[in-house]
Structure 1
Amino acid sequence: MTPPQRKRHRPQPPPPPNPPGTADGQAEPKNPEPKNPERLYTIAGSDDGARAELDLVTLIVARSAPPPAATPEHAAVLRLCAAPLSVAELSAYLQLPFSAMTVMITELITAELVQARAPIVRQALPDRSLLEAVMHGLQKL
C-alpha cells in the first residue's frame, strides 16, 4: 500500500485589479474560485481526557484489521500500521496534527487494536579488541 502524498499549501496570488467600469455602485464581478477554509479538527478522546504517553518516534503497529464499525480515520491508521510506523509518519500521511493523532492512537490502544512500541535504538558497536579476539579464534580453527 502506497502512503498518500502530502500536498503543500502555496500562497494564492493576489486577485487581479477590477476591470474598468466596475467601481462605485456597479456590480462586482463574480469570483469563480471558492476560498479554501482552514480545516478544523475535533476529535474527542475519553471522558477523563487521558492520553497515552506518545512521542514523535513511538512506533505504532496494528494488531488486527480494521473492524467494520471503525471510523474512516481509525481504519486508515490500522491499514497504514500493518508495518510499524512512527506517530510522526502517521501524522504526515493522514495530514492530521500530532495532537489529533495522539487522541486517535490512545483510543485505538484502549480498544486493543494497535500496540505502541518504543523506537528501535541502534546498539553501540562491540569493542574492537573483542572483535579481533573472535576473528583470531576463528582463524585458529
Structure 2
Amino acid sequence: MTPPRRTRRRPQPPPAPQPPRLPQPPRPPSRDAAGAKGPGDNPERLYSVTGSGDGARAELDLVTLIVARSGPPVSATPEQAAVLRLCGTPLSVAELSAYLRLPFSTMTVLLTELIAAELVQARAPIVRQALPDRSLLEAVMHGLQRL
C-alpha cells in the first residue's frame, strides 16, 4: 500500500477590487418600514396613544408598581389592553415602558387614564431598610454556628 501524496497549497491570488458604489437617493419610508422601527418613533402615533386628555398625570416613578384590577374591557385601546394583560403580576412602569416600546412620558399618560378608570392600581415600591436588624443577624449567626 502506498501512502497518499501530499500536495502543497498554493497561495490564492487576492480578489479583484470592487468598483465604488454610488450613493442612492433616499426613498420615502414605506408603511412597513415605519412599523418596523417601533411605535415610539412616530409622534402622531404617540399622540393617538395618549389621547386628548386634560394633561393631568398621576405621580408615577420608574419603579412604581402597577397591578391590574381586572381584565381588559371591550372598549380598551390595544395599548391599554396590553398593559392590563401584562399587569396580572406587579410590573414597574419602566418594565411596562420597555415591553410596550413606549417612552416614559407616554406611559405615564396611558397609566393615568387606566388609574382614573380604576382598571389598574399603582403601588409604591417596597422599600428595604438601610441596615438589617441586629437581632436578626445574631439569630442567623447562632443558627449557623449550631450546624
- TM-score (normalizing by structure 2): 0.63
The aligned amino acid for 1:44 is G
How far apart are residue 46 of structure 1 and its match?
Answer: 2.7
> CA 1:133 to 1:117, structure 2 compared with 1: closer, same or farther past 3 Å?
closer
Tell me, which stretches of 5 or more residues in structure 2 are unaligned? 1-20, 35-40, 143-147
1:64 Cα offset (Å): 0.3
- Is 2:78 the counterpart of 1:44? no
Deviation at 1:51, TM superposition (A): 0.5
CA distance in 2, matches of 1:131, 1:17: 70
Q: Structure 2 counterpart of 1:73, which letter?
A: E
Q: Deviations over 1:59-87 (max 9, x none)?
A: 00000000111110000000000000000
Distance in 1 (CA, whole Å) between partners of 2:103 and 2:74 is 25
Superposition RMSD in Å: 3.1
Q: Give 5+ residue unaligned stretches, structure 1.
A: 1-15, 20-27, 137-141
Larger radius of gyration: 2
Over 3 Å counting, the alpha-carbon distance change for 1:18 and 1:76 in structure 2 is closer
Shift of 1:54: 0.4
1:1-141 aligned at under 5 Å gives the runs: 16-17=21-22, 34=30, 36-37=33-34, 38-40=41-43, 41-42=46-47, 43-47=50-54, 49-123=55-129, 124-127=131-134, 129=135, 131-132=137-138
As a proportion of its length, which structure holds more helix?
A: 2
Query: Moved runs in structure 1, 4+ residues, more than 3 A?
Result: 33-38, 129-136
The number of residues matched between the two structures is: 111
- What amino acid maps onto 1:66 in structure 2? P
**Is the partner of 1:92 in helix, strand or coil?**
helix
Residues 45 and 104 of structure 1 are in contact (CA less than 8 Å); yes or no, is this contact kept in structure 2? no
